[in-house]
Chains A and B, each alone.
Chain A
Amino acid sequence: MAECGEIGMMLGAFEDSELEPNEMQEVAFHLARCESCTGILGEYSTIGRDLRSIADEPSLAGFSNAVIARVDRLPQPVLARVERFLRRQLDSVGAGFAWGGAIAAAAVMTIILMTPYAEQFANRNAKPATSAATAAREDVPASNQVANATADEPTMADNDSHADISRLESENHSVAVWSEPRRDTTVIWLPDQP
């Protein structure tokens, strides 16, 4: 079993979930048996919380305007200035064409939805009666599908993510997550707070 000295170097990275899965595991094992290291981990999360609580949040009112003002005072390439002028002219002319296009698109969509032509258009694109043969080809027996999947499975098991965590919230600052693809398992670690 890893000694406290070795584990101590990894506690911060464990807290930050920045260790390899086997290292996360090793630290988790140790923490389950070592109150001292668990206490240190708690102190690290307290430090983080305290740092965030004293962090300054400066007011950024007018910041972007100040930056743009400085940027505008920089010497501009001639081509860039000409291009900007032309773009402004095109924008005002182009607005009218944009209105007309939007109204025309909305009118076309309404016609398609509300008139019988919509159904005829849909039927014209429907598949013919030969779909029965296609369905028969696609209707592979389940046993064959399983067999095929099994043949491919060794690589799929290694690469396929079987749990995809998009959000994890916890009051516990020591929560950790790691994946064990060989065992098709994802682990969420929630040690008791000291």
Chain B
Amino acid sequence: MTLRPGSLTFLIIATTAFGMVGVSYAQPASRQVNVYIDSVMAADTNEGTDPRLAPMGQKLRGLFGFSTYSLIGHNEGQTDCGKMIAFTLPGGKILHVQPRAIDGDMIAMEIVLFDGTRPMMTTDLKLKNNGTLIVGGPRYEQGMMIISIGASTGGSQPMQAQSTPPAEATTR
């Protein structure tokens, strides 16, 4: 089956107009997303868990089994959906977080981790509101770096280290 160009154009224009009306009703208002980053050094040096990590220390011990966990950086920031926020982390790492949309209780976002200017990892994911993503593995001094990434939309916050003065965050 084929349609003449004229009929097809008419159909496309009418469908587009109808669709635009629907989209305008469906478009959600822009919403802010809070992002929390904790940088942790994990090592086998038997120094115990940094007290500032108290809320998440048990989780880290259960996940990784090291004997030392030290908080080496804490960053937090706020951005709108569609805008990227950048964090400078210890060890020359840079983290870009760009929330894309809020879908119910899930926050869709893109995360890019750089080692200097070299991208180490790019991921698209949906994170539950107040949920945590952990990125681990890069060597840091005598141990390994663990980066805990949390996000929330409301006033409550995901499990994170007790806040130290936030490091610099830039929003684009």
Contact = CB atoms under 8 A, between A and B. Distances in A.
A and B touch in the complex (CB under 8 A): yes
Interface of A: 25, 28-29, 32-33, 91, 94-95, 98-99, 102-103, 105-107, 109-110, 113, 160-172, 175, 180, 183-192
B123 A167 contact: yes
Interface string B8-50: 1011011101100100000000000000000000001000000
Given A29-B64, A102-B11, A185-B63, A170 B121 contact: yes
Contact of A170 (B120, B125, B133): B120
B106 interface: yes
Contacts of B120: 170-172, 190
Given A102-B8, A184-B128, 12 more contacts: A33-B44, A94-B1, A103-B10, A105-B11, A110-B17, A113-B18, A163-B128, A164-B106, A167-B122, A168-B121, A188-B123, A188-B133
User: Interface majority SS on A: helix, strand, loop or mixed?
Assistant: mixed
11 contacts: A91-B1, A102-B7, A106-B11, A109-B17, A164-B125, A167-B123, A167-B125, A171-B119, A187-B135, A189-B137, A190-B136
Interface residues of B, number: 44
B121 A172 contact: yes
B63 A187 contact: yes
B82 interface: no
B62 A183 contact: yes
A186 B136 CA distance: 11
B153 to A, nearest CB: 14
B4 interface: yes
Contacts of B2: 95
B97 to A, nearest CB: 14
Q: Which 5 A-B pairs have CB atoms at the shortest separation, nearest pair first? A: A162-B128, A106-B14, A190-B137, A167-B124, A162-B131
Nearest to B145: A190
Contacts of B128: 160-163, 184
A175 B138 CA distance: 11
A164 B126 contact: yes
Contact of B63 (A25, A98, A106): A25
B159 to A, nearest CB: 8
